[in-house]
Chains A and B, each alone.
Chain A
Amino acid sequence: DIVMTQTPLSLSVTPGQPASISCKSSQSLLHSDGKTYLYWYLHRPGQPPQLLIYEVSNRFSGVPDRFSGSGSGTDFTLKISRVEAEDVGVYYCMQSIQLPITFGQGTRLEIK
């Protein structure tokens, strides 16, 4: 299985300040088709996870532009340029290049 490792596991951020989450995979997520199969989700309390970023850096429909993704190969980053109260929850990275699909442990974001 591909192991997804997120850091930090939790972070506390003042509204308006930036936040960054790292995700490292145990194998490259670059497919021969040229796509890199790395995704980011936000799991808000009491709601199902929602897709934020697909294939490393593409914001999903309706996702604010304060969210951005970057990286390549095995190292990836999710950045929030200015954290807002609604960003509270647990963030997960996920790979789908190889079955079983696997998720990172999650990073809990709270507001100071």
Chain B
Amino acid sequence: QVQLQESGPGLVKPSQTLSLTCTVSGSSISSGRYYWSWIRQPAGKGLEWIGRIHISGNTNYNPSLRSRVTISVDTSKNQFSLRLNSVTAADTAVYYCARVPFTIFGVARGFDPWGQGSQVTVSS
């Protein structure tokens, strides 16, 4: 059974960097068969795709966040990580990591599974 689990600080000060890690079990990040993604949900709002990484090192980010986001992977720990710089209160959200397969044309398919989510609050 594939499981993903987010971890990281629940409170980040404004202007600082939000850092989260997603630990994957039951599936090898190195297999190359999936994108590994981050998605967030601000309180009372909908879902926002943040970005994704493939083991090849290829990354794609939402243009709305691209200047502040970095997603990386650590194959030795079977983890991937999110860094979001210069955070503000607008970055307060539940952050999810998720696995997504892709077609031979590189198109992502459905996100499954998802981690349980990690609440991150930006406040001084």
Contacts and interface: CB of A to CB of B under 8 A. Distances in A.
Interface in A45-63: 47-51, 54-55, 60
B114 A103 contact: no
Interface stretch (B24-32, B77-85, B104-112): B104-112
Contact of A92 (B46, B115, B117): B46
A96 B109 contact: yes
A49 B110 contact: no
Contacts of A43: 47
Interface in B88-124: 96, 98, 100, 103-105, 107-117
Nearest to B4: A48
B63 interface: yes
For the side of the interface on B, what is the size category? 20 to 34
Interface SS, B side? loop
A35 interface: yes
B107 to A, nearest CB: 6
Given A35-B103, A100-B62, A51 B46 contact: no
Interface of A: 1, 31-33, 35, 37, 39, 41, 43, 47-51, 54-55, 60, 92, 94, 96-97, 99-106
Given A47-B116, A92-B47, A100-B61, 13 more contacts: A1-B63, A33-B103, A37-B108, A39-B109, A39-B110, A41-B111, A48-B96, A96-B109, A96-B110, A97-B107, A100-B49, A103-B46, A103-B48
